[in-house]
Amino acid sequence: MEGEDDTVLRSRCRAIPKLPTFPDLDSSLDGDCDQEQHQQGGGDNHITSNGKIEVEHVISKKLQLKRKAEFLKSDLMRQFDSQVNDFMDSLIEESASLEPAPVPAVFSPPLSDKERSKLRHFRPPHGQGKQFVSRRSLLDELFEVNHIRTIYHMFIALLILFILSTLVVDFIDEGRLVLHFDLLVYAFGQLPLVVCTWICMFLSVLLVPYTLFHLWSQTQSGSNRHPKLCSLLFGSVFLLYQALGVGFLPTYVVVTNSFPPASCFIIILEQVRLMMKAHSFVRENVPRVLTWAKDKTSPSPVVPQVSQYLYFLFAPTLIYRDKYPRNPVIRWGYVATKLLQVLGCMFYAYYVFVRLCIPQFHSISLQLFDLRAMVLCVFNSILPGVLVLFLGFFAFLHCWLNAFAEMLRFADRMFYKDWWNSTSFANYYRTWNVVVHDWLYYYVYRDLLWMSQKRCRPAAMLFVFTVSAVVHEYILAVCFGFFYPVLFCLFMCFGMMFNFILHDQRKGPIWNIIMWTSLFLGQGVIICLYSQEWYAQRYCPLKEPSFLELMKPRSWSCQKLMSDSDRL
């Protein structure tokens, strides 16, 4: 990309050839192109007094130029040829090596149709599952184009201005240079407890599902007389563990200790992540053991090593494989850059909240049913909303996942695709977070279709949507400490609607504009309503709330309370 871009710029340079006949050319105001050409042509700018010699000189220069161009051309062609050759060869090899399943399969004894259809139920979805391929993240590729890197620089410039103006205002307010990040300190409070909770959670997910699976796989070896009973038993224990050990306990810790939002986010996101990882591990390996139990091609079932499971728990993917494509080396400089960028995004988000959200909502008289104020509130929340969206995407989906992928030499970096170019919400959902999308697609959507024998495709899609919306809302509800299903409603109403209106047949630029308009609007609504509710919860705490009162958004009733107090 860099190369292509340079070519464009270079050809723009080349298009204004300067004549070498005027040695008094002045280039100090006229930029790089001229300078380069001067350096090249500066050597032989001399006017001889004999016209004939000049003609010969010009002709010989032209011939030189032509020879040089021809040489360059043949050189370029040779290079291009060898590159295309290598590329084609590697492509052919790769496509051959990616088809391992059919070749061994055909050497096994042919199966009856009944056996085949039975086997299909147990067959691990490797062949049809996600294929991991060594590839870079799209933003890493795009940032090599200087026009797009400039956008990144503009965001940094904005951060610098955020910091500068905050410093100056704080300096005027307090008379000295202050650098306090009370919001960050508050949001990441109770960090020791967070770390302890995380370690317990991680160790339990490392040990319990693996041990359960290991024990269960031994019950399938044939010596056991009731393999199905054992499967039922172990399955129930695993589900119970998922529900209570991973599902309930961390939430209980978070709620009883009333963790602040960011600490809460860490635990709840890790909880969801580990739950999905454990599910994937079991989902991918159980069919392998069942296949082995049918065929008995080897003396013992293929049970992954604990090190493979441990690698999977850290790897930036939610689809278990024994092996992933790996990079040869770790570029620690890259890791450091990405982690610094995560830190930068955190501070950026801090400034967005401190400078754009808090002043707007802190002093607002809560006016939910004043439509005019609501419209202005939503509109004013678009800028912070979009910034938070970009920051979250960049910090988590690009930097954080890439940093971990680099440290683990994990080579498949397609954590997202070019969601910004989406012309449909269906495509946006697929490309925004490929990691989670793949999990939902393979383990919820495809497994549902498989279970229902492909009878209810729209129902499966609806279920995937609901699962996703519920989990998103669950995370927000626990972290903010209140239940206000704005995201859920946006997701289930507009998200679903747009998913069917803005389907994949929409390709024109107008649909991309509509996608962005609704995304902007959605972010504005989310930031505006959640912020209002956040402050309503602070301003109007309930003494002995009933369940119904807890469910009811406080910003609706708090307004009345405030009006009452206004009247007093």
Q: Which residues are catalytic?
A: 472
DSSP 552: S
The answer to whether 421 contacts its own copies (rule: CB under 8 A) is yes
**What span, in angstroms and rounded, lies between the C-alpha atoms of 50 and 491?**
82
Size of the site for its own copies (CB under 8 A): 118
CA distance 213 to 278: 10
Of residues 138 and 490, the one with the C-beta less far from its own copies: 138
**Residue whose CB is less far from its own copies, 162 or 309:** 162
- Binding test (CB under 8 A) with its own copies, winner from 41, 45, 149, 409: 149
- Our finding on whether 295 is near its own copies (CB under 8 A) is no
CB of residue 4 to its own copies, shortest distance in Å: 5
Closest distance of CB 337 from its own copies, Å: 12
The C-alpha angle 297, 301, 307, rounded to 5 degrees, equals 135
Burial class (CB in 10 A: 0-12, 13-18, 19+), 54: middle
C-beta of 157: minimal distance to its own copies in Å?
4
User: Please, which residue, 69 or 310, has the CB nearer to its own copies?
Assistant: 69
Q: Which of residues 125-144 bind its own copies (CB under 8 A)?
A: 127-128, 131, 133, 135, 138, 141-142
Q: Is 192 in the site for its own copies (CB under 8 A)?
A: no
* Interface pick for its own copies out of 121, 160, 336, 541 (rule CB under 8 A): 160
Cβ-based nearer residue to its own copies, 299 or 508: 508
531 Cα distance to chain centroid = 25
Per CB under 8 A, contacts with its own copies among 352-381 are 355, 371-372, 375-376, 378-379
Q: Which of 114, 147, 225, 567 binds its own copies (CB under 8 A)?
A: 147
Nearer to its own copies, 188 or 520 (CB): 520
Mapping DSSP to helix (H, G, I), strand (E, B) and coil, where does residue 135 land? strand
- Interface mask toward its own copies for 456-475; x: CB under 8 A: -x---x--x-----------
**Nearest residue to 522 (alpha-carbon basis) of 371, 364, 372, 386:** 386
Which uninterrupted H or E stretch holds 497? helix 496-501
Phi, psi of 178 (to 5 degrees): -115, 140
CA distance 89 to 145: 28
Q: Which is nearer to its own copies, 111 or 306 (CB)?
A: 111
Q: Which of residues 423-442 bind its own copies (CB under 8 A)?
A: 427, 430-431, 441
Site string (219-258) toward its own copies, x via CB under 8 A: ----------------------------------------
- Nearest CA to 255 out of 543, 468, 534, 483 is that of 483
Q: 279, 321, 398, 417: which one contacts its own copies (CB under 8 A)?
A: 417
92 counts as binding its own copies under rule CB under 8 A? yes
> With binding defined as CB under 8 A, does residue 83 bind its own copies?
no
Write down the residue that tokens 């490392």 correspond to: 206
Q: Give the tokens for residue 38.
A: 């001067």
Where b means 16+ CB within 10 Å and e means fewer, 547-558 reads eeeeeebbbeeb
Output the six-digit token pair for 293: 């139990």
Would you give the end-to-end CA distance of the chain in angstroms?
Answer: 67
Binding residue (CB under 8 A) for its own copies from 454, 456, 549, 563: 454
Q: Which of 9, 244, 269, 306 binds its own copies (CB under 8 A)?
A: 9
Q: In the range 481-520, which residues lie near its own copies by CB under 8 A?
A: 504, 509, 512-514, 516-517, 519-520
For CA atoms 521, 523, 524, 530, the dihedral sign is positive
Q: Which of 151, 207, 343, 550 binds its own copies (CB under 8 A)?
A: 151
Question: 């119970």: which residue's tokens?
Answer: 240
Quick one: 139 or 476, whose CB is closer to its own copies?
139
Tell me the window of 89-97, 184-192, 258-266, 340-348 that interacts with its own copies (CB under 8 A): 89-97
Q: How far apart are CA 209 and CA 222, in angstroms?
A: 22
- Distance between CA atoms of 102 and 177, rounded to whole angstroms? 68
Q: Which two tokens stand for residue 295?
A: 């065929």
Out of 119, 383, 408, 540, name the contact with its own copies by CB under 8 A.
Answer: 383
Name the amino acid, one letter, at 155.
F
Judged by CB under 8 A, which of 161, 195, 456, 493 binds its own copies? 161
CB of 467 to its own copies, least distance (A): 13
Helix axes 113-122, 261-295, angle to 10 degrees: 160
Label residue 568 exposed, middle or buried (CB < 10 Å: 0-12, 13-18, 19+). exposed
Give me the least distance between CB of 454 and its own copies, in Å please: 7
SS (H, E, C) 360-400: HHHCCCCCCCCHHHHHHHHHHHHHHHHHHHHHHHHHHHHHH
Range 19-78, binding its own copies (CB under 8 A): 19, 21-22, 24-26, 28-32, 35, 49-52, 54-55, 58, 62, 65-66, 69-70, 73, 76-77
169 binds its own copies (CB under 8 A): yes
**Of residues 519-558, those binding its own copies (CB under 8 A):** 519-521, 524
